[in-house]
Structure 1
């Protein structure tokens, strides 16, 4: 039998139902022949879905579960209503997995829709029919499909013109901050939004790149004074080199 180990409504119901104390956990008492049998939630679900199940027992179980659930206040989450939803869960699994994999709808949303559908159908289902549980499961399945079909049609639309306008927007030079020691770029002719654009790449010498890298590394290591004293002015003679490399690196 499928497991409900998942972070959705089904797992929450199972945790509150199966994890409850014995004096709180609901049991179904049904008449089988001339005797009364008290069934735990697990035993009741096993009797409903096991291969070769007894149809007469199945009908009695669904009928009793519906009667017990209706005795509780509407809109509540009493143990009888939780038990009814929990008993219906295996009946919706096949369609739930089909929807999740085919339509890519969130499983947690489908579980919520199925639980709400069972509780809504509880108010109108006839417990004296030969298969009182069938309408509960069918309503849950139909509501999951209806929700999924509605969601997949809700495709967000993007205003392409507005997006392009914002993406290509340029501010006037006087509106842009001018950093200290910065550069100004003038293009002739100015860029046009209806034509192709290319990426501008600025290159600098390897010497300057290495110097900036060395300075940043020295500052992080707390050695800015040492590196400053070891630097060489362009007009001075080379008296040595300072090399920094990761510890253990090849010489």
Structure 2
């Protein structure tokens, strides 16, 4: 039996792409070029990143992910990996605010990204924002809904107590003595 080196899905995804060097074709001012996945991510989040290059990277990533029919889904995984810095930041803000299990938030974030990715419209001006904004909103909504839930130690006892209480309209009027 092998050991799983990470217990969080974001860490496993990070590890997968740090070990590989996928080519990422983009059109730059100098012409078409191949970036590594790491170089593409640095171009997205670097302080001196070119906005047109950012848009080109997101557009290519979303397009490739939507056309990806491979069982392993490497283009989809690459797009998720490119979105991880934004998602990590958002999950950190949620974790500071509410005590929700981080692993649960991570899986919900990836599910939100995959759901939005399937319907993302590449004709929008900002493909990155069209992917990230709805995904972030979904995770915030999930986290807020989780804060409304209350843990109950014994559901059966709570249900029995609730059912044993009579409704005021069903009580018989006892004669006063």
Whichever structure has more helix as a proportion of its residues is 2
| SS at 2:119 equivalent | coil
* Runs of 4+ with >6 A deviation: none
Gaps of at least 5 residues in structure 2 are 159-177
Give the whole-Å Cα distance in 2 for the aligned partners of 1:29 and 1:157. Answer: 52
CA contact (8 A) 1:26 1:79 kept: no
How far is 1:149 from its partner?
A: 1.3
Give the whole-Å Cα distance in 1 for the aligned partners of 2:19 and 2:126. Answer: 29
Provide the residue aligned with 2:10 in structure 1.
10
Give the whole-Å Cα distance in 2 for the aligned partners of 1:140 and 1:90. Answer: 13
Aligned length: 152
Give the whole-Å Cα distance in 1 for the aligned partners of 2:50 and 2:87. Answer: 20
Give the whole-Å Cα distance in 1 for the aligned partners of 2:15 and 2:106. Answer: 15
With CA pairs under 8 Å and 6+ residues apart, which has the higher RCO, 1 or 2? Answer: 2
**Are 1:148 and 2:143 counterparts?**
yes
Provide the residue aligned with 2:64 in structure 1.
68
How far is 1:86 from its partner?
A: 0.6
Q: TM-score, normalised by structure 2?
A: 0.77
CA contact (8 A) 1:65 1:84 kept: yes
Mark the structure with the bigger radius of gyration. Answer: 1
How far is 1:158 from its partner?
A: 5.7
Equivalent residue in structure 1 for 2:87, among 92, 97, 100: 92
CA contact (8 A) 2:121 2:130 kept: no
| SS at 1:130 equivalent | coil
| SS at 2:100 equivalent | coil
